[in-house]
């Protein structure tokens, strides 16, 4: 049993990944005891299952990106965050807390538990390891209220609009706080859950009609009609 790739290595269709007694996972095919990638992506192996995570349609972190991550694991002095990417974000306690965390006296989950959401910035990333995040800057940190929705990350520029025109209109018409993260998550904090649901519906409309003209005016009219 032999593998021919490093974990999370970028591979292309036809790349030989392994040979021996493995199981083919997503985007991997077997031929005469050998396993090959069927598309461009990141090769990975878990429990003897070899898979390729496709890059198309996946958010790839860039230093400086603002992301909204969901805590999926608490470790001694850090948290692993789902950032809607083939890579999980790593948020060390030193980049989240204002004081040192002593793992012998307290658990990380006391401050941030599995399932909770965090607004963070990508500090460093080079595809050889999971991206490092920070939540120490102004406007970053744990999300305590509001609604978080997922959108296609390629639609983020349209939701923000040219020179911020769309997001400015949404905030002005609703009076809500709205943060659009680069990884395709949107945090909405309005006066009520019903209002947040209406704003989420408006954002879905932008996502679905991103390729059309006159969208800002239509979304504004949609919000006005909802208020009526």
Domain boundaries, the chain: 2-54, 66-142, 147-227
Tell me which fold the domain 147-227 belongs to: Ribosomal Protein S8; Chain: A, domain 1 (3.30.1370)
Is the Cβ–Cβ distance between 98 and 142 less than 8 Å? no
The secondary structure of the chain in percent helix, strand, coil, rounded to multiples of 5, reads 25, 35, 40
pLDDT in the model for residue 194 = 94
pLDDT in the model for residue 57 = 67
Q: Which residues of the chain fall short of a pLDDT of 50?
A: none
Domain 66-142 belongs in CATH node 2.40.50.140 = yes
Greatest alpha-carbon span in the chain: 66
pLDDT in the model for residue 222 = 96
pLDDT in the model for residue 52 = 86
pLDDT in the model for residue 154 = 86
Q: DSSP string spanning 61-124?
A: --TT-EEEEEEEEEETTEEEEE-SSSSEEEEEGGGT-SS---TTT--GGGTS-TT-EEEEEEEE
Same topology, domains 2-54 and 66-142? Answer is yes
Which two tokens mark 10?
A: 């970028």
What global pTM score does this model have?
Answer: 0.76
Is the Cβ–Cβ distance between 19 and 33 less than 8 Å? yes
Is the Cβ–Cβ distance between 82 and 181 less than 8 Å? no
Domain 2-54 belongs in CATH node 2.40.50.100 = yes
């Amino acid at each position: 049993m032999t593998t021919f790739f490093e974990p999370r290595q970028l591979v292309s269709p036809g790349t030989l990944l392994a040979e021996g007694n493995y199981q083919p996972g997503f985007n991997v095919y077997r031929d005469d005891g050998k396993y090959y990638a069927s598309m461009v992506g990141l090769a990975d192996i878990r429990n003897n299952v070899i898979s390729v995570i496709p890059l198309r349609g996946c958010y790839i972190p860039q230093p400086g990106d603002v992301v909204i991550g969901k805590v999926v694991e608490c470790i001694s002095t850090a948290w692993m965050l789902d950032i809607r990417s083939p890579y999980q974000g790593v948020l060390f306690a030193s980049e989240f807390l204002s004081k040192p965390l002593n793992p012998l006296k307290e658990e990380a989950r006391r401050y941030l538990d599995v399932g909770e959401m965090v607004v963070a910035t990508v500090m460093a990333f080079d595809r050889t390891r999971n991206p490092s995040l920070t939540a120490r800057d102004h406007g970053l940190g744990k999300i305590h209220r509001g609604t978080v929705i997922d959108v296609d990350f390629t639609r983020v520029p349209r939701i923000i609009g040219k020179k911020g025109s769309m997001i400015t209109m949404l905030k002005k018409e609703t009076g809500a706080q709205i943060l659009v993260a680069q990884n395709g998550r949107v945090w909405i904090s309005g006066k009520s859950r019903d209002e947040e649901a209406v704003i989420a519906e408006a954002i879905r409309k932008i996502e679905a009609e991103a390729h059309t003209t006159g969208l800002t005016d239509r979304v504004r009219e949609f919000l006005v009609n909802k208020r009526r």
